[in-house]
Structure 1
Amino acid sequence: MLLLPAFVLLLAGLCGAKPLAGKRWNDLAVKHAWVEIPRGWEFHSKPPGDHLLDMRIGLKQAKLEELISSLYEVSDPAHERYGAHLTKEEVDALVAPHPASVGAVESWLQHHGINPSDAHFRSAGGEWITIRVSVAQAERMLGTTYGVYYHAASGSSVVRTMEYSLPQELHSHVDVVTPTTYFGTLHSMRSTSFVQAHSTVGDEDSFAAEISPLAVPASCGTTITPACLRALYNTTAYVPKATATNKLGVSGYLGEFANDADLQTFFKTFRTDAVGGTFTHVQVNGGLNTQSDPGVEANLDIQYTEGISFPTPNTYYSTGGSPPFLADSFTPTNTNEPYLDWLNFILNQTTIPQTFTTSYGDDEQTVPQDYATSVCNLFAQLGARGSSVMFSSGDEGVGGGACTTNDGTNRKIFQPAFPASCPFVTSVGGTQKVNPEVAINFSGGGFSRYFAQPSYQTTAVSSFLNGLGTKFAGLFNATGRAYPDVAAQATGFQVVVGGRTESVAGTSCSSPTFAGVVALLNDFRISEGKAPLGFLNPLFYSTAKTGFNDIVSGSNPGCGQAGFTAGVGWDPVTGLGTPDFLRLQALVA
């Protein structure tokens, strides 16, 4: 008789197990939501429930603070650990999630009928898990409804949602889930280069000749070639020596790739000693390299990184992931986010280039803060491993368009750009003219509203803010990460596209130019038996700050305002200034 109550209790426990588990995972709370459809986008239709997407889950990293602390220590020339960059394995160990986080996420997946062992991708550190799910399944998991949204200006369509939720328990274990509320595609983001009215470059043979660094001709003020840049930034006489070790990487998207034949034409016209030089093509996640209809952006990047750093080995990474959305497609299309594709790919490599450049960006406020923070932390991993990461600062000054907030209040404020606002990258603004250089009016610059001002730039930025006084009060976040950090030429670049020379402008010109100079500095360091420079900003704002040509005139208007003004010292138009290789070489020796 005593067995009956025990049996009843056991049965009650078994019956109650599933509802209790269901409550655990059905107790949803909003993770991120927009109050309005991001500007430029419009709802188009409901995607098919069986349309597949790759859901990325970014788990909280158990030792993230230790990673960032290590990053600053190995990047600070005054620290005893300077240059002692971390190995891939050391970084992976620091970014690994806590076992409790892994267990919670895997239990949640199992609740939704997903075997964690079937994950489409896991990062080496385990902090990113990618699973392939249908739209209907993603909607159940995230308590949301997906839509197909159309971006008229770029012709892009994406599968996104206005908000998403996670079980309360997962909020302490998960940083971000994508694709969800980040609408930016690299088509809509790309704004840092543009083709100018066609210019005649004249006697092509004259551009192949080297220019004395003591007498940069006035023609370089309107027509930029590698010879102009090498003279302006004092790299003409330097011959790379560590070419077996030192590498430079260019990350590209949108199906763009750099054309081999165009590079040879560029070399024959603008740098004859490099004729026959090549670069490595790497295709990530379906990236293209058909060698037909090359992209202006891709050719610009590789022609000028090569034009400055030759014969340093260059690699162009063509990352796919953004073909047009097809309603009847049952494979992942542009639901992917190529930034994450490229970052997860490159961080999974044992050996990576010591220098990177990327020429894409978007208004910071259009990027969900959880997404921006997760991507920024991935750049911290690159820096910790000894890579210098350059990003163009944008082409809209302090902001383009109406510059109103997207939080429902419609306040007018300056619009910082991301990833330029990430404190773990080196943001490159733009200049024009020569003898002297001046800030170009579209040079992106300002202050982040997501990221706090890092200590490495406090002194420089405080000096600028003290001089600014109350001007523009309320339009920017004076305590935010300030950018750009540095600058380089940004207009009149002669680029060969389809065999024809085009004139190109934008901070897309500035970033690969600056990266070329950094690659030479890394070559020098490595050839001397030293570590590469890695994350540059702590060095640049301290012992190397005298290695730049201070830009003291020009401004970056936007948002209906005059914008900031370049002046003595750091400013949010040209940063610390443009590089002087010889001075920097002496400072990093």
Structure 2
Amino acid sequence: MPSKTSLLAAVLHALPAFAAVHEKLTVVPRGWSESAVHDDAEITLSIGLAQRNIDQLESKLMAVSTPGGLEYGKHLDVDATRAMFAPSGVANRAVQSWLKGAGIRGIHSDGHWVSFTSTVKTVNTLLDTRFAIYDNNGVSILRTTEYSIPDDLAGFVDLIFPTTYFGEAAANTPEGSTYTKRAFDSKISDVEDCKEWMTPSCIKRLYSVGDYKPDAKSGSRIGFGSFLNQSCSHSDLFEYEKYFGIPQQASSVALFNGATTRQDSATAHSEEVNVDAQILVGVSHPLPLIEHITAGSPPINPNLNHPAGTNDNEPYLSYFQNLLSQPNSALPQVITISYNDDEQTVPKSYADRVCNMIGMLGLRGVSVLNSSGNNGVGTPCMSNDGEDTIQFTPSFPSTCPYITSVGGTKGVSPEVAWDQSSGGFSNYFSQPRYQKAAVENYLANHISVATKNYYQPYTNFKGRGFPDISAHSVDPCYLAIVNDELYEVCGTSTATSVVAGIIGLLNDARLRINKSPLGFINPLLYSLAYTSLNDITEGGSVGCKGVDPETLWEIPGAGIVPYASWNATEGWDPVTGLGTPDFQRLKRLVLSI
């Protein structure tokens, strides 16, 4: 068997031979103009080292996540996961040696990423490419439309960025919720009518939580991700607890990538994460909450929803890499992410890497939840590859097959599908085995042949279907406190926090009788738990009307698909997934497996 040294030597010997182009843009995204850049200009790039055994991830994850299997619930620890999937030392050394051979210094590697700064001239030669300055509405970025790497490095590198990724970091208020300010009243007697506002007691009644009392020491923990310079306000959380008669409970904080926690209301931008924390406390108190704050912004391919100067894509890669480095004892067993992006604005290689890391968290026993979005069938319904193809717009990371996507409902009695609940089919990820039967049932029995044929040019019926589950989002809205003011808050982000809180309660029940946490729950949902959900069969979603459904502002150049909609039906549908949770029925089920 050849040694690692001989393998590395063989790699280095072959470096001059370039492989096929590693990544390429068919056309430059709309609106960008090109100009030359000086050879001596500096550029900083990061090389994502290929993770090993990725072809085994799906089968291993299904084995530990499918009820009835011999490995069900036997989750891995940090060392076992790292041993199985971490990039090889050979890859790390080969990439660094390649860079050093090109005269590059100041190289940094954490074992997963190799980063460096060099001149444009050196990088152009290194990657057999031509970087240029691209301008769009006053934003200037340094990018290329394609790059190559040596033949014998191709298997060691997943991606290099930012190269073919267009965008500019500028944190904005994220999508996912809408806010309406209300008069603050210290009395809570007026908010117990579940037809006017959604309160903690209303949530518990709607989803049959009843008088279940979790144990703060059971080991069940819930986490929520904070991005885009947002931090949960502790004072707002305490005020919320006081307002609804909940014993005071703070969330702990973990800081990633040099992030800071901001408690000044003028700079905290805490709307989204405040709502996450408050709804979670309302559902799952006193289970411990952990806020993960991640600094930075990732690469973005702009589209009509996310122009060049408005990079509000979240730094998922850094977030999940940091989570995976933690021991199981520090990880929450359920994580809610109330942010989402149009799938097409996230480069495919980046999306693949993020999705695989979510799968690895599932192997560790973590349920990762994401709000499906508030855009119904989608917006802007126009491709961003320069081809201007009209198409539905799925959202990421909900389209990752290893995440649990949460859609939205409205009303209380009856509870029906919300017309802005995002859902549909991925253009990046194929349909996972665990949901094939459910999706095929929808396509065969609950959507007409004529409608299916009409939608065929606009969507990918063989893609991963989302959402998987849903919860209340609007009519009535939730009450939350932001910057010491009372607000009505609506959207799928609220639904995701509700479902995360209920999964935290289910984990609490299991851990108290020495069972494992639920981990990746989709195989359970589609094989058994769908009978313990409230199937939503009325209502539907709409979209592709040329306007932003949240603001009703016209989107110039957006694609329009007349009558675009998904209907809620018996079984799975791309509006509400399999339905909404019934805690008591779910508890009986998860304690029996």
Q: TM-score category by the smaller chain? A: 0.7 to 0.9
Corresponding residue of 1:212: none
- Given candidates 418, 423, 431, the residue that maps to 1:453 is 431
Does the CA-based 8 Å contact 1:44-1:150 persist in structure 2? no
Corresponding residue of 1:245: 219
Corresponding residue of 1:531: 516
- Tell me, in whole angstroms, the C-alpha distance in 2 between the residues paired with 1:225 and 1:335: 30
Does the CA-based 8 Å contact 1:249-1:315 persist in structure 2? yes
Worse-superposed segment, 365-374 or 196-205: 196-205
Q: Which letter does structure 1 place at the counterpart of 2:96?
A: E
Worse-superposed segment, 516-525 or 61-70: 61-70
Does the CA-based 8 Å contact 1:359-1:392 persist in structure 2? yes
Worse-superposed segment, 195-204 or 555-564: 195-204
Q: Say whether 1:229 aligns with 2:203.
A: yes
Shift of 1:139: 4.5
Shift of 1:282: 1.8
- Tell me, in whole angstroms, the C-alpha distance in 1 between the residues paired with 2:186 and 2:314: 44
Worse-superposed segment, 456-465 or 41-50: 41-50
Q: How do residues 223-302 of structure 1 correspond to structure 2 at under 5 angstroms?
A: 223-241=197-215, 243=217, 245-270=219-244, 272-274=245-247, 276-293=248-265, 294=268, 295-302=270-277
Q: Say whether 1:174 aligns with 2:157.
A: yes
Q: How do residues 455-470 of structure 1 correspond to structure 2 at under 5 angstroms?
A: 455-467=433-445, 468-470=447-449
Shift of 1:568: 0.9
Q: Which letter does structure 1 place at the counterpart of 2:402?
A: F
Change (3 A) 1:48 1:290: farther
Worse-superposed segment, 30-39 or 183-192: 183-192
- Given candidates 117, 131, 134, the residue that maps to 1:133 is 117
Shift of 1:569: 0.8
Corresponding residue of 2:469: 486
Residue-pair matches, total: 539
Q: Percent same amino acid among aligned pairs?
A: 39
Corresponding residue of 1:498: 483
Change (3 A) 1:233 1:261: same
Worse-superposed segment, 465-474 or 447-456: 465-474
- Given candidates 380, 385, 402, the residue that maps to 2:364 is 385
Corresponding residue of 2:176: 193
- Tell me, in whole angstroms, the C-alpha distance in 2 between the residues paired with 1:475 and 1:453: 17
Residue aligned with 2:188, SS: helix
- Tell me, in whole angstroms, the C-alpha distance in 2 between the residues paired with 1:236 and 1:45: 65
- Tell me, in whole angstroms, the C-alpha distance in 2 between the residues paired with 1:489 and 1:297: 17
Q: How do residues 544-555 of structure 1 correspond to structure 2 at under 5 angstroms?
A: 544-555=529-540
- Given candidates 31, 34, 39, the residue that maps to 2:25 is 34
Shift of 1:43: 7.0
TM-score (norm 2): 0.84
- Tell me, in whole angstroms, the C-alpha distance in 2 between the residues paired with 1:336 and 1:130: 22
Q: How do residues 54-69 of structure 1 correspond to structure 2 at under 5 angstroms?
A: 55-69=45-59
- Tell me, in whole angstroms, the C-alpha distance in 1 between the residues paired with 2:37 and 2:195: 52
Worse-superposed segment, 526-535 or 339-348: 339-348
- Tell me, in whole angstroms, the C-alpha distance in 1 between the residues paired with 2:319 and 2:419: 31
Shift of 1:404: 2.2
After superposition, the C-alpha distances for 1:418-441 in whole angstroms (9 at most, x for unaligned) are 111000000011111111111111
Q: Say whether 1:70 aligns with 2:60.
A: yes
TM-score (norm 1): 0.84
Gaps of 5+ in 1: 1-19, 210-218, 325-333
Q: How do residues 75-86 of structure 1 correspond to structure 2 at under 5 angstroms?
A: 75-86=65-76
- Tell me, in whole angstroms, the C-alpha distance in 1 between the residues paired with 2:38 and 2:412: 53
Q: Which letter does structure 2 place at the counterpart of 1:437?
A: E
Corresponding residue of 2:555: none
Q: Say whether 1:376 aligns with 2:355.
A: yes
Shift of 1:49: 5.6
RMSD of the alignment, in Å? 3.0
Q: Say whether 1:437 aligns with 2:415.
A: yes
Change (3 A) 1:47 1:261: farther
Q: How do residues 295-334 of structure 1 correspond to structure 2 at under 5 angstroms?
A: 295-322=270-297
Change (3 A) 1:501 1:144: farther
Corresponding residue of 1:3: none
Residue aligned with 2:273, SS: helix
Corresponding residue of 2:4: none
Q: Which letter does structure 2 place at the counterpart of 1:273?
A: I
Worse-superposed segment, 339-348 or 572-581: 339-348
- Tell me, in whole angstroms, the C-alpha distance in 2 between the residues paired with 1:179 and 1:452: 26
- Tell me, in whole angstroms, the C-alpha distance in 1 between the residues paired with 2:169 and 2:217: 32
Q: Which letter does structure 1 place at the counterpart of 2:277?
A: I
Corresponding residue of 1:17: none
Shift of 1:380: 0.6
Change (3 A) 1:420 1:27: same
- Given candidates 392, 401, 419, the residue that maps to 1:414 is 392
Change (3 A) 1:493 1:66: same
Q: Say whether 1:350 aligns with 2:362.
A: no
Q: Say whether 1:120 aligns with 2:120.
A: no
- Tell me, in whole angstroms, the C-alpha distance in 1 between the residues paired with 2:187 and 2:227: 31
Q: Which letter does structure 2 place at the counterpart of 1:145?
A: F
Change (3 A) 1:146 1:430: farther
Shift of 1:114: 4.3
Does the CA-based 8 Å contact 1:452-1:480 persist in structure 2? yes
Corresponding residue of 1:14: none
Q: Which letter does structure 1 place at the counterpart of 2:535?
A: D
Residue aligned with 2:365, SS: coil
Residue aligned with 2:566, SS: coil
Residue aligned with 2:336, SS: strand
Shift of 1:520: 0.8
Q: Which letter does structure 2 place at the counterpart of 1:537?
A: N
After superposition, the C-alpha distances for 1:328-351 in whole angstroms (9 at most, x for unaligned) are xxxxxx999722221111111113
Does the CA-based 8 Å contact 2:36-2:132 persist in structure 1? no
Q: Which letter does structure 1 place at the counterpart of 2:78?
A: K
Worse-superposed segment, 76-85 or 29-38: 29-38
Does the CA-based 8 Å contact 1:376-1:419 persist in structure 2? yes
Q: Say whether 1:423 aligns with 2:396.
A: no
Residue aligned with 1:495, SS: strand
- Tell me, in whole angstroms, the C-alpha distance in 1 between the residues paired with 2:427 and 2:209: 37
- Tell me, in whole angstroms, the C-alpha distance in 1 between the residues paired with 2:509 and 2:357: 27
Shift of 1:399: 1.2
Change (3 A) 1:363 1:409: same
Residue aligned with 1:132, SS: strand
Shift of 1:557: 1.1
Corresponding residue of 1:474: 457
Does the CA-based 8 Å contact 1:135-1:146 persist in structure 2? no
- Tell me, in whole angstroms, the C-alpha distance in 2 between the residues paired with 1:370 and 1:440: 32
Does the CA-based 8 Å contact 1:144-1:165 persist in structure 2? no
Shift of 1:367: 2.0
- Tell me, in whole angstroms, the C-alpha distance in 2 between the residues paired with 1:160 and 1:233: 49
